[in-house]
Structure 1
């Protein structure tokens, strides 16, 4: 399986996994690492100190700055903004890189902003337009500005309320050891 890199993309990195698609008007800097079977949509910028796992989807208009790690099977919606500096200043000599990690299976909704220095837990779900200012536990749902915990989500994407109840089926789930169980 070969990569498909659009001829209008500027891909400087040679560390692109098999089966990864990179669409037009993307810029991928030299030290970036991207896994297998990823889909990097148009108009995406990926800086040097970035690690992207396998089977990741990144929709258009996303900028991924130094210090961002995106693990396997993550969905990044259109125009998501990652940050890596809590006190940004032009030409600052004293800026401090703050990393962001998005764990396996997480979903980051369109137009969300993630502040520097946070971790998004496994299979967590951040709703569209949210501003995430703190760490998110696994299998939790967050919405708003600032984002607030509004429920839970199963690995299969079943949305649960704060009582771990599926409103559609009435089925009750349990949250133990940072996982959802039936």
Structure 2
């Protein structure tokens, strides 16, 4: 077995987990789940059937990754954050054929207790603050806070706020990596990539 699981965890037959991944106390991985290498699933995590998780993903305690969610490499899911997959749920109305797909791009951080309403894409290295409620697509490198979530700035790959306006024109460097970022209107682009420590 290439991955490790705690004796209280359930990994259903058919689930695929990559080399070095760890599944902690009372977690449950469904049979159709596809999980990459070096991932960590904390206590009480649930992973559905129609879920794809990349390499080096950290899912903290009490997070449910429901069907129709994809997490790319290096995503961080903070404690008790929430995914959904039905936009207008009712207990008496079956809507499994109406799931809306959610994509979290590489390196994004989803803060503790935030909620991602289904059907949206969280951009590369975006940072969703604790308790925020995401109701629309989030651009790469965006720093989002509040209910509903609004952009208040931009974050580097290293996870530090960049000295850029919320929108407009500007340039900034990350002192930790040497990355160079350029802001044009509502789009922040990594123009020159340094080295992550």
Structure 2 residue 176 is the aligned partner of structure 1 residue 174:
no
Partner Cα separation in structure 1 for residue 106 and residue 47 of structure 2 = 19
Give yes or no for contact 1:17–1:35 (8 Å, CA) kept in 2. Answer: yes
Structure 2 equivalent of residue 119 of structure 1: 121
Deviation at 1:110, TM superposition (A): 0.2
Runs of 4+ in 1 over 4 A off after TM superposition: none
> What is the TM-score with the length of structure 2 in the denominator?
0.84
- Residue 73 of structure 2 is matched in structure 1 by 72
Partner of 2:37: 36
Paired position in structure 2 for 1:2: 2
Query: C-alpha separation between the residues in 2 aligned to 1:94 and 1:42?
Result: 29
| Structure 2 unaligned regions, length at least 5 | 193-197
1:53 and 2:46 are equivalent in the alignment: no
**Structure 1 unmatched runs, 5+:** none
Distance 1:91 1:32 in 2: 27
Tell whether the 8 Å contact from 2:15 to 2:29 is kept in structure 1 after alignment: no
Name the CA distance, whole Å, in 1 between partners of 2:83 and 2:99.
Answer: 12
Scaled by the length of structure 1, what TM-score is found?
A: 0.90
Could you tell me which of 140, 145, 148 is aligned with 1:146?
148
Question: How far 1:180 moved relative to its partner?
Answer: 3.2
Over aligned residues, Cα RMSD in angstroms?
Answer: 2.1
- 2:23 maps to which residue? 22
1:63 aligns with 2:70: no
Aligned residue among 137, 148, 152 for 2:139: 137
Distance (Å, rounded) in 1 between the aligned partners of 2:144 and 2:156 = 14
Measured after TM superposition, the shift of residue 160 of structure 1 is 2.1
Q: Report the 3-state secondary structure (helix = DSSP H, G, I; strand = E; otherwise coil) of the residue aligned with 2:17.
A: coil
1:32–1:178 distance in 2 versus 1, CA, 3 Å? same
- Distance between the aligned counterparts of 2:84 and 2:15, measured in 1? 25
